[in-house]
């Protein structure tokens, strides 16, 4: 049977959809980037920050998001010339609008009406992957390390898988050691925020804006002193923390805009490299949108000079689709009653089968 994975991340650059089979290794059949309608994207951005009358905005936004996911599924099936009846389940991450794992009442909220998605697609949907881990004392994130372990681990290799989306996370796959993983901090989120602020562009295509700037050492040092970077794992974060408001404390208006962008790029690379320092990692494989920023990749290669740095493409898994495949895998794992979290990663008190089934 085949599975569909749906992932829309914190960068809000669109909806990643994949059609895959598992044997148990994943085989990518087809993939699609489905855009957000402008109004829906604006509503999701608004819900990602505290505001007024959020419940009145949340209700209709969930419905529109389900419709958008369903349109993406229909387009994916049409592209692959598949029918809904050939798909065992959809694994849907939903859209994170708030991630607060460290308060007195920890929570992580992903929205999207999954009943409506199942009804529109006439395919079972497996969703709500994070809250069970949180119920058992975990961070609810990152969830991809269990998938990375299943797909990328090799007995004699010391590898790290680095996902650079809006937020960056690492999975350490060191031979004969427990798998470790956590959010390192901002991935593309701050760079996207800043280029939107300065140039009204959703992202810095090919790192062009970044490449025009120079590193600001004093700003970088001040940023790296943030308590999040000094915190021990397990840890996770989101755009509600690393955003323009966070950046303002470092007075970016005092510098050239391109220099700030260059510094934000190096911040992402430095925080990733620092997280790998002292480990036995020899190979670093990058996935997510960050692989398309040559300045960021060059920074990583320079900071991790003792390791080889490449994309997951060389391992046979397209770097653009790793996360979407991971949520298809979580749906497969749910149906096969395979645990989807790693307690040593999230801090949960037990390994759990993650997800909730929504039937058409």
Instruction: Give binding residues for ATP as ranges.
Output: 9-16
The sign of the CA dihedral 219, 221, 222, 225 is: positive
Determine contact, residues 141/108, Cβ cutoff 8 Å: yes
How far is residue 89's CA from residue 95's CA, in Å, rounded to a whole number?
A: 18
Q: How far does the chain reach from its first CA to its final CA, in angstroms?
A: 18
Beta strands in 102-147 (DSSP E): 107-111, 125-127
How far is residue 80's CA from residue 19's CA, in Å, rounded to a whole number?
A: 8
Determine contact, residues 319/148, Cβ cutoff 8 Å: no
CB-based contacts of 87: which residues, under 8 Å, 6+ apart? 1, 2, 3, 4, 19, 77, 123
How far is residue 193's CA from residue 178's CA, in Å, rounded to a whole number?
A: 35
How far is residue 264's CA from residue 187's CA, in Å, rounded to a whole number?
A: 9
Instruction: Give binding residues as ranges.
Output: 9-16
């Amino acid at each position: 049977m085949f599975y569909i994975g749906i992932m829309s991340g914190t960068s809000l650059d669109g909806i990643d959809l994949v059609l895959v089979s598992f044997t148990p290794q994943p085989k990518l059949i087809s993939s699609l980037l489905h855009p957000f309608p402008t109004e829906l994207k604006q509503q999701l951005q608004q819900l990602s920050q505290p505001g007024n009358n959020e419940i009145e905005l949340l209700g209709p936004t969930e419905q529109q998001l389900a419709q958008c996911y369903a349109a993406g599924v229909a387009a994916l099936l049409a592209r692959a010339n598949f029918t809904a009846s050939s798909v065992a389940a959809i694994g849907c991450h939903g859209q994170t609008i708030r991630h607060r794992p460290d308060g007195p009442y920890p929570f992580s909220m992903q929205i999207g009406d999954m009943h409506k998605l199942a009804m529109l697609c006439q395919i079972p949907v497996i969703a709500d992957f994070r809250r069970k881990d949180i119920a058992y004392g975990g961070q609810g994130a990152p969830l991809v390390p269990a998938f990375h372990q299943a797909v990328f681990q090799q007995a004699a290799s010391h590898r790290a898988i680095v996902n650079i989306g809006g937020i960056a996370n690492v999975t350490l796959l060191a031979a004969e050691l427990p798998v470790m993983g956590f959010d390192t901090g901002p991935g593309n989120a701050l760079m996207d925020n800043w280029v939107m602020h300065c140039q009204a562009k959703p992202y810095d295509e090919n790192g062009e804006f970044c490449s025009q700037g120079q590193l600001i050492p004093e700003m970088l040092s001040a940023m790296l002193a943030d308590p999040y970077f000094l915190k021990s794992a397990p840890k996770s974060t989101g755009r509600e923390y690393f955003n323009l408001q966070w950046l303002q404390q470092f007075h970016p208006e005092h510098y050239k805009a391109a220099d700030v962008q260059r510094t934000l790029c190096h911040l992402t690379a430095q925080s990733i490299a620092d997280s790998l320092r002292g480990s036995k990692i020899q190979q670093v494989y990058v996935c997510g949108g960050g692989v398309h920023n040559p300045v960021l990749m060059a920074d990583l290669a320079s900071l991790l000079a003792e390791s080889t740095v490449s994309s997951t493409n060389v391992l046979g898994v397209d770097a653009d689709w790793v996360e979407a495949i991971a949520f298809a895998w979580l749906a497969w794992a749910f149906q096969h009653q395979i645990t989807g979290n790693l307690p040593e990663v999230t801090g949960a008190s037990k390994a759990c089968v993650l997800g909730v089934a929504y039937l058409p």
